[in-house]
Structure 1
Amino acid sequence: MRALPPRLLLIIGAVLTGLAVIALVLLSAAGIVEPASAVQIALSFAILAMAAMIVADGRRTDGKALRIDARTKRQDAALARTEQALAQLATELEGLPGRLEDAGRHQARVLLSALGEDRMELTAQTDRLAQLASAVARVDATVRQSADDLDDLRKLRHDHEQLTGLTGTAVQGLRDLAERLDALGGTVREGQADLAKSARQNYAQLEALIDIRALLQPRAPLPRLRGWAASPDVLRLLIERIAVDPAKVVVECGSGSSSVWLGYAVQRFGGGRVVALEHDERFAEASRDLVLAHGLQDVVEIRHAPLTSWTPPGDGAETIPWYDPRAVADLSDIGLVFVDGPPGATAQLVRYPAVPVLLPHCAADAWIVLDDTNRPGEREVADRWLLEYPELAGTAHPAEKGAMVLRRSAV
């Protein structure tokens, strides 16, 4: 219950005291109460009223003090909680710069790894394209100037032939010069066509590299492609094949950067494994280190398989160096074979044994991709496979170095 204000208590006390005094005066005048007793009673009422006022005011003051004390305690508790929250926040903020710095360094490493060698490759390809475009422009200007000069020379020759005083020797000399200029114009035009073809090929390889890079997102830099290594366009063909028809086992004849790309494809789409055969022990070890750097050791196996003399069944006359067949004896249900080794310079038809050796270990609907079919030896290998194995159907693929895609099916 809320206490009354002091002013109201004073008024109530005065009114009650006044009423008591009036009553006592009336009682004294009526002779009921003695005047002395009436005075004493009146003083007693006044004292009691004052005491009541003092007690009420004291209780009101005590209540206010209690309320102030309770509010103070609540504020102290709130301040304590705030202080604790600030201390916890300060502790978290104290380690935040270090964590942010570590996170920034990690992201920087990831970004640098993502760009890595491919970024340098893209930059180099862009520079080469710019150089080729400049060279094509210069050649085009030279051809146009040579054509103009040739037209002028022909006109001059015609005019000279009309002159009666021109000797046969001079006319023949002009004809020879015109023929040489014609030959030069043809050579320049051929060079221009070659440069344009090279520019288109570089663009196609750059486009394929961007495609497989964006699709698989390798976790570390990769060695450069092309040259001795597989080209981006044939790798894109293989990765598309794995994405559409995942293989339990992918066998690669040869190892290197392509082994890592195939490993990423199998890891993402196939759920199987890649077995790469490598005849050079040092290169096999380097390929294993590359696979380990990309964390693909669970899906990619590099097997050292030295070259041995392989003889076709029933033909003791022909021997071809190829990987030791014991390296693939335990394999079965192979769904995709990529033949990019041994190196073509090793021997004539060095890649021919791949189908005779591996086909018995392949699935009924296996795919075989032969690289480098722009070379005569590989074209002959593909022709022999198609002739000797009726269950294989082949299609040429317009890759940079040429490729033949073969599909196994029921005869």
Structure 2
Amino acid sequence: MRTLPPRLLLIISAAFAGLAVITLVLLSAAGIVEPASAVQIALSIVILAMAAVMVAGGRRTDGKALRIDARTKRQDAALARTEQTLAQLATTLDGLPGRLEDAGRHQARVLLSALGEDRMELTAQTDRLAQLTSAVSRVDTTVRQSADDLDDLRKLRHDNEQLTGLTGTAIQAVRDLAERLDALGGTVRDGQADLAKAARQNYAQLEALIDIRALLQPRAPLPRLRGWAASPDVLRLLIERIAVDRAKVVVECGSGSSSVWLGYAVQRFGGGRVVALEHDERFAEASRDLVLAHGLQDVVEIRHAPLTSWSDEIIPWYDTRAVSDLDGIGLVFVDGPPGAAAPLVRYPAVPVLLPRCAPDAWIVLDDTNRPAEREVADRWLREYPELAGTAHPAEKGAMVLRRNAG
């Protein structure tokens, strides 16, 4: 209940006391109340009024004190909550530098991995540019020599005496010029053919890259394809097979950007997993970072498998313990180990993995434009008559092997 202000209480009490005194005076004058009794009653009324004012004022003060106390308690509670929030924030900020440093290292590893492949691609492009520069230099030299010979002939034609005396020399110069021009024409024709072939190949790879990007829509940037990495056209072949056969287990010999593309395909169509074998521990770690950057760690597994001898053969291959738990493999992509490791280093893929493959599995061997890979494919077909091989016109050549229908 709200208490009236002290001033208002004082006014009401004074008015009440005054009214009581006037009433007593009138009653005393009328002889109804004796004057002494009237005075006593009036004093009592004034004292009671003053006491009422003092009590009401005290109650008001007590109520205000209680309200102040409640407000203080609420402020204390809010302050305690603020202190708790600040403590949590301090704890979070405590570990933030370490987490930022870890995140920076992770991004650096991903970037270095991508830059590493880009540098390899850049080296290959630099070599091709160097070859082209050398060819252009030879053409330039031939053209300059031909221009000099033509200039000499013009001088000879304007000098009849020299032309008469040096006919044999002029004829030989013309013959040399004709031979150089023929060679120059052949070089130009070869260059035009190479340029047209490269343009067709670049268009085919760009078309395949657009297809797989539109189909799978990667969530983060990917390193470049081609060069050391798989080409878009062979990746399109693999992704088509995953979409059609819904392979539950895909094994890749080698790892890198192709592992991520295969992971996207399995996630989109197969609902299975990709197991990539990598002999180089540092590159395996870089591939894991790349997989993590695309959020495919639940789909793609990069297994470090150092090169070791297998069976009685002297050819090294991935440590076979890395595939001991695999069964029902639906697709094998043989793009490793690198050919520089040993001659026919990719041969063990079929002897090791074929017994673990599903009956309708595909085995795709990349880089069959190289003699070593062609020899590997030929040996597989000779030693495993249940396999049939079909050449695929990929940029670097590919061979598709499947079990015979019969």
TM-score normalised over the length of structure 1: 0.61
Moved more, 95-104 or 268-277: 95-104
Does the 8 Å contact 1:248/1:270 carry over to 2?
A: yes
Deviates more, 1:6-15 or 1:89-98: 6-15
More displaced 10-residue stretch of structure 1: 160-169 or 226-235 = 160-169
- Secondary structure, in 3 states, of the residue corresponding to 2:341? coil
Distance in 1, matches of 2:230 and 2:142, equals 36
Residue in 1 aligned with 2:82? 82
In structure 1, what is the Cα distance between the partners aligned to 2:288 and 2:236?
22
- Whether the 8 Å CA contact 2:121–2:228 is kept in 1: the answer is no
Distance 2:322 2:358 in 1: 18
Q: Which is greater in Rg? A: 1
Cα contact 2:117–2:228 (8 A) shared by 1: no
Q: 1:258 to 1:177 in 2, by over 3 A?
A: same
Cα distance 1:208–1:200, how it changes in 2: closer, same or farther (>3 A)?
Answer: same
Query: Are 1:8 and 2:3 matched, yes or no?
Result: no
| Deviation (angstroms), 1:120 | 17
Give % identity. 91
Q: Which moved more, 1:201-210 or 1:37-46?
A: 37-46
Distance 1:213 1:39, change over 3 A: closer
Tell me how far apart the structure 1 counterparts of residues 321 and 25 of structure 2 sit (CA, whole Å): 138
Q: CA deviation at 1:358?
A: 0.3
Query: C-alpha offsets along residues 53-80 of structure 1, whole Å, 9 cap, x if unaligned?
Result: 9999999999999999999999999999
Write the distance in 1 (CA, Å) between the matches of 2:95 and 2:346.
Answer: 60
Q: Distance in 2 between matches of 1:203 and 1:127?
A: 21
Residue-by-residue CA offset, 1:164-187 (whole Å, 9 max, x unaligned)? 876333212211221111001101
Distance 1:154-1:5 versus aligned 2 partners, 3 A rule: same
Contact conserved, 1:275 with 1:300, CA < 8 A, in 2?
Answer: yes
Equivalent-residue separation in structure 2 for 1:85 and 1:289 (angstroms)? 35
1:228–1:21 distance in 2 versus 1, CA, 3 Å: closer
2 CA distance for matches of 1:225 and 1:163?
61
Preserved contact between residue 277 and residue 323 of structure 1 (Cα < 8 Å)? yes
Deviations, residues 333-380 of structure 1 (Å, cap 9, x unaligned): 101000000011111100000000000100111100000111110011
CA distance in 2, matches of 1:291, 1:2: 71
Q: 1:136 to 1:239 in 2, by over 3 A?
A: farther
Distance 1:43 1:155, change over 3 A: same
SS of corresponding position for 2:275 = strand
Q: Quick check: 401-410 or 36-45, which moved more?
A: 36-45
Worse overlay, 333-342 or 108-117: 108-117
Greater shift after overlay, 65-74 or 180-189?
65-74
Q: 1:106 to 1:387 in 2, by over 3 A?
A: closer
* Deviation for aligned residue 1:266: 0.6
Work out the CA distance in 2 between the residues paired with 1:26 and 1:287: 112
Greater shift in the superposed pair: 156-165 or 279-288: 156-165
| 8 Å contact from structure 2 (residues 205, 232) kept in 1 | yes
Tell me what 1:335 maps to.
330
CA contact (8 A) 1:114 1:221 kept: no
Q: Which region of structure 1 is more displaced relative to structure 2, 43-52 or 381-390?
A: 43-52
Q: CA RMSD in A?
A: 7.6
SS in 2 for 1:164: helix
Contact 1:136 1:195 in 2 (8 A): no
Return the offset for 1:190: 0.7
Match of 1:346 in 2: 341
**Is the 2:156–2:163 Cα contact (8 Å) retained in structure 1?**
no
Residue segments in structure 1 that go unaligned for 5+ positions in a row: 312-317
Aligned residues of 2:114 and 2:223 also touching (Cα < 8 A): no
Over 3 Å counting, the alpha-carbon distance change for 1:73 and 1:152 in structure 2 is same
Kept after mapping to 2: 8 A contact 1:364/1:410: no
CA-to-aligned-CA distance 1:226-270 (integer Å, 9 cap, x gap): 111111111001001111111111000001110110011011111
Q: Deviations over 1:292-350 (max 9, x none)?
A: 11111111111111100124xxxxxx411110011111111101000000011111100
Cα 1:161–1:70 shift into 2, 3 Å: same
Q: What secondary structure, in the 3-state scheme, does the structure 1 residue paired with 2:353 have?
A: helix
Aligned to 2:20: 20
**TM-score by structure 2 length?**
0.62
Alpha carbons of structure 1 residues 91 and 180: separation in structure 2 relative to 1, 3 Å: closer
* 8 Å contact kept, 1:334–1:362: yes
Shift in CA distance, 161/95, structure 1 to aligned 2, threshold 3 Å: same
Per mean C-alpha deviation after superposition, the further-off stretch among 139-148 and 337-346 is 139-148
Distance change in 2, residues 1:3/1:383 (3 Å) = closer
Looking at structure 1, the residues matched to 251 and 395 of structure 2 have their Cα atoms a distance apart, in angstroms, of: 22
| 1:140–1:192 CA contact under 8 A, matched in 2 | no
Q: Secondary structure at the match of 2:296?
A: coil
Quickly say closer, same or farther: Cα 1:137–1:16, change in 2 above 3 A. farther
8 Å contact kept, 2:146–2:180 = no
Displacement after TM superposition at 1:198 (Å): 1.3
Q: State the distance in 2 between where 1:307 and 1:57 align.
A: 96
Superposition deviation, residue 279 in structure 1: 0.6
| Cα distance in 2 for residues equivalent to 1:151 and 1:403 | 53
Shift of residue 220, structure 1, vs aligned partner: 1.1
Matches of 1:29 and 1:45, distance apart in 2: 19
Aligned to 1:366: 361
Residues 26 and 173 (structure 1 numbering): CA distance in 2 closer, same or farther, change over 3 Å? closer
Sort the Cα spacing of 1:31 and 1:322 in 2 relative to 1 into closer, same or farther, 3 A. closer
Deviation >2 Å, runs of 4+: 1-170
Cα separation, partners in 2 of 1:128 and 1:32, compared to 1, 3 Å: same
* Stretch deviating more after TM superposition (38-47 or 337-346): 38-47
Tell me, yes or no, if the aligned pair for 1:220 and 1:293 is still in contact at 8 Å: yes
